[in-house]
Amino acid sequence: MAIDPYRTPLLTARETARYLGMPESTLNVWLGSPADEPLVHAVHPERRGWPRVPFVGIVEAHMLRALRESGMPMNDIRDAATLVRNEFNDPYALATRRIATDGVAVFVRLADRSLVRARDHQHAIKEVLEDYLRHVDWDETGTPIRLRLPDYPAGAEVIIDPRFGWGTPVLAENKVKVEDVVALWRTGEPITTVAEEYNLAENVVEDVLRQAA
């Protein structure tokens, strides 16, 4: 089955928030109600409690988390998202490759207009956004295709890639699902056994467990 990054639901809101290291309540606000223009795009789930966040929504939430960590107030984040979407004439602007080239300048200009009231936030926005952007890969059309989760150390690179694990985090090295590594360890198996089972270095397993478990 082909996975449409815009329309195929991959994760629930709870899973998305957990994997991105942010409060679920914040993500639910960003997802909005059916009557609102969402900050994070979602699709209608087939059943209550089923996945509703497509890959593009995961990347949008990742970018909005960067704005939050840069010090942008919650009340200003919607204005920031609206501005960049209007600037690019693209409802998915927060998740397209153009955000990596032109988007940072737009947000910094936004700060200069004093929407973000503390002027030194300009530097924070630029630094934090650029750091978050380096974790996203796009294809030749500018569509997001892979997200590296920044909370994992570089030696244990964990990604969300719709082609593997149905959107759940996997090890970039061999595409083993993080939840499988954690599940085996929770059965009582030592780290050495877990590492051998999934052909991973012990220090990689330790790093994954430290972050995921």
Please report the pLDDT score of residue 115 as a whole number: 47
Mean pLDDT of 157-178: 95
Give CA–CA dist 29/22, Å, rounded: 12
pTM of the full structure: 0.90
Mean pLDDT of 67-84: 82
Starting at the earlier edge strand, list the strands of the sheet with 170-171: 136-138, 144-148, 158-160, 170-171
The DSSP-derived string for 93-127 is GGGSTHIIIIIHHHHHHHHHTTSS-STTHHHHHHH
Angle between helix 24-31 and helix 55-69 axes, rounded to 10 deg: 120
Structure tokens of 19? Answer: 């994997």
pLDDT per residue as tens digits for the range 5-34: 999 999 999 999 999 999 999 999 999 865
Q: What is the mean pLDDT of the chain?
A: 88
Neighbour tally for 1: CB within 10 Å: 5
First to last CA, the chain: 31
Q: Tell me the domains of the chain and their CATH numbers.
A: 1-149 (1.10.1660), 152-213 (1.10.10)
Please report the pLDDT score of residue 32 as a whole number: 83
Please report the pLDDT score of residue 118 as a whole number: 44
